[in-house]
Homo-oligomer: A and B are copies of this chain.
């Protein structure tokens, strides 16, 4: 039986990944999925006989981590906006908790495979170079948030644990995942989902940056499939390149809103109100405007999303399948 751990499994990407892995598992290759989160898991996961749910802070789970997992998806993280406001939260939740995890896995001694959810927030403008127009796998990181700094530190930490043979790690630099369901969260990137999600629900959305802002995004499904593909990749395929950009769709806010209008009509578009937020705008200004994903596409054959329209359509399909059309798609023409 394969023992798989997902940290942050109560989160949006984590829960979707858990469902994907449970669905994919073949009867002849049974899986035991340990799902940790500081909050309670969604009921469908809690009630699956193959799931072991562990609620609490990662820093308290050293004994669990050293209990012998085969595969670990480390997704738990405080988000960028929160960590800019609360410096110690970032230290604790993103740096210390990763160290507790890595040390537990090292002590287990079975060299588990590990996929770490890093972020394009590791990139930023480098004064000697300026930020490249498109950040590539081998662009020089220069994080401009504590969130991005701690993600990058963890990447290098994981690469060293891997070099030493304590585990077999790889880091996925996630694009901003859109369209997130539910409510806005503390991430500075939260509006990238909000300006699509709220109008589709017939509600007003505030866009804190202007139309020219450009950014690489990916759908939840693309992100989950990419994380799973990175876990399957062999060390030979990866060579020593242990941190890669996941597939991205490079968009501007203008293109996102054009797509909203195309899919949901003029009325939906009119629900987006521009109200500049200097704090958010300053964070976003230091993020990459576009990303390339050569290792992901060419070496690892990840597919990614076809277009931003396909990403919006995925959200609509998800809402319909979840029976949430009445509220979530109220604004759909």
Contact = CB atoms under 8 A, between A and B. Distances in A.
Interface of A: 87, 125-129, 137-140, 142-144, 146, 149, 152-153, 156-157, 159-160, 163-164, 239-241, 295
12 contacts: A87-B164, A125-B240, A126-B241, A128-B138, A128-B239, A128-B241, A138-B140, A139-B140, A143-B160, A146-B160, A149-B159, A153-B156
B160 A127 contact: no
A129 B240 CA distance: 11
A138 B160 contact: no
B157 A149 contact: yes
A152 B138 CA distance: 16
A93 to B, nearest CB: 15
A227 B159 CA distance: 29
Contacts of A143: 156, 159-160
Indicate how many identical chains form the complex. Answer: 2
Contact of A128 (B140, B159, B295): B295
Contacts of A164: 87, 146
Given A128-B295, A143-B156, A153-B153, 11 more contacts: A126-B240, A127-B240, A127-B241, A128-B239, A138-B140, A144-B163, A146-B160, A149-B156, A149-B160, A152-B156, A153-B156
Contact of A138 (B126, B144, B159, B239): B126
Q: Considering the complex of A and B, which 5 residue pairs feature the smallest CB-CB distances, nearest first?
A: A127-B239, A149-B160, A127-B240, A153-B153, A128-B138
Contacts of A139: 140
A245 to B, nearest CB: 12
A213 to B, nearest CB: 21
A5 to B, nearest CB: 22
A92 to B, nearest CB: 12
Contacts of A127: 239-241
Contacts of A146: 160, 164
B144 A153 contact: no
A159 B125 CA distance: 13
A164 B164 CA distance: 33
A142 B242 CA distance: 10
A164 to B, nearest CB: 6
Contacts of A153: 153, 156-157
**Of A139, A143, A163, which is in contact with the most chain B CB atoms at under 10 Å from its CB?**
A163
A168 to B, nearest CB: 16
Nearest to A239: B127
Contacts of A126: 138, 240-241
A88 to B, nearest CB: 9
